[in-house]
Structure 1
Amino acid sequence: MRITIDTKLCIGSGQCALTAPSVFTQDDDGFSALLPGREDGGGDPMVPEAVRACPVQAIAVTED
């Protein structure tokens, strides 16, 4: 699995970081970012819910 965040779409709502805090965080400007080494989700079962929680669909998960 590969997680990407479209930084042009992200509005910084933080829903991803609230839903899957072991994978997502917010950068210094308040926008979503992946924690280092978590581009594959780290097996966190909450990643799909974090994707659904994004109000602007800025997060995509693709299978390798």
Structure 2
Amino acid sequence: MKIVVDRSLCTALGVCESLAPDHFEIDDDGELVVLRENVSPEDRDAVEAAVSGCPTAALKLED
């Protein structure tokens, strides 16, 4: 499973970072950085919460 970001929708509010900090970070310039693109089974719940919690629907998961 892989994280995909639609950069045209992302406003870097940080919801994903708060829900899955091992995978997402907002950098010093206010841009979203995907720290780990591939999602392990043990991280799946946190990343799914981050994807569903994204207020701009900029995140999705692909197999």
TM-score (norm 2): 0.85
Residue number in structure 1 paired with 2:39: 41
Give the whole-Å Cα distance in 2 for the aligned partners of 1:41 and 1:34: 11
Runs of 4 or more off by more than 3 Å in structure 1? none
Question: What percent identity do the matched residue pairs reach?
Answer: 39
Q: How many matched pairs?
A: 61
What amino acid sits opposite 2:16 in the alignment?
A: C
Please report how far the alpha carbon of residue 15 of structure 1 lies from its aligned counterpart in structure 2 after TM superposition.
0.2
Gaps of 5+ in 1: none
Give the whole-Å Cα distance in 1 for the aligned partners of 2:57 and 2:25: 16
Give the whole-Å Cα distance in 2 for the aligned partners of 1:59 and 1:8: 11
Residues 15 and 53, structure 1, Cα contact 8 Å, conserved in 2: yes
